[in-house]
Chain A
Amino acid sequence: MGLGYAESQVALRGRLFKTGITVSSQPASLSLVRDFIGRVTERLQMPRGEAGQCVLAVDEAVANIMEHGYGGVSDAPIEIDVEADSACLRIVVRDEADTFDPLIVPDPDLPRHVAMGRNRGLGLFLMRRMMDEVHYRAGEPIGNELTLIKRFHRPVRCAF
Chain B
Amino acid sequence: MPAFQILKEKLPDGIVILTIRGFLDAHTFEELEKTIDDLFESGVYKLTVDLSGLDYISSAGAGVFIGAIGRAQENDGNIILMKPSANVKEVFDLLGLSHIFTFKDSREESVKALR
Contacts and interface: CB of A to CB of B under 8 A. Distances in A.
B58 A27 contact: no
Interface of B: 3, 23, 25-27, 56, 58-60, 62-64, 66-67, 69-71, 86-87, 90-91, 94-97, 100
Interface of B is mostly: helix
Interface string A97-125: 00000000000001101110111101101
Interface residues of A, number: 28
Contact of A59 (B25, B70, B90, B100): B25
Given A63-B26, A66-B26, A111 B64 contact: no
Interface of A: 27-28, 30-31, 34, 49, 52, 55-56, 59-60, 63, 66-67, 110-111, 113-115, 117-120, 122-123, 125-126, 129
A120 B97 CA distance: 14
Contacts of A60: 58-59
Contacts of B91: 56, 126
Most chain A Cβ neighbours within 10 Å, of B27, B59, B69, B87: B59
Contact of A117 (B58, B70, B96): B70
A31 B23 CA distance: 8
A30 B27 contact: yes
Contacts of A115: 70
Contacts of A118: 63, 66-67
Contacts of B67: 117-119
A126 B97 contact: no
Given A30-B25, A31-B3, A63-B58, A49 B96 contact: no
A125 B94 CA distance: 9
Contact of A110 (B60, B69, B87, B96): B96
Contacts of B66: 113-114, 117-119
Contacts of A120: 59-60, 63
A69 B96 CA distance: 27
Contacts of A55: 56
A63 B97 contact: no
Given A31-B3, A52-B87, A63 B96 contact: no
Contacts of B87: 49, 52, 56
A122 B26 contact: no
Contact of A123 (B27, B56, B60, B90): B60
A34 B57 CA distance: 12
A146 to B, nearest CB: 16
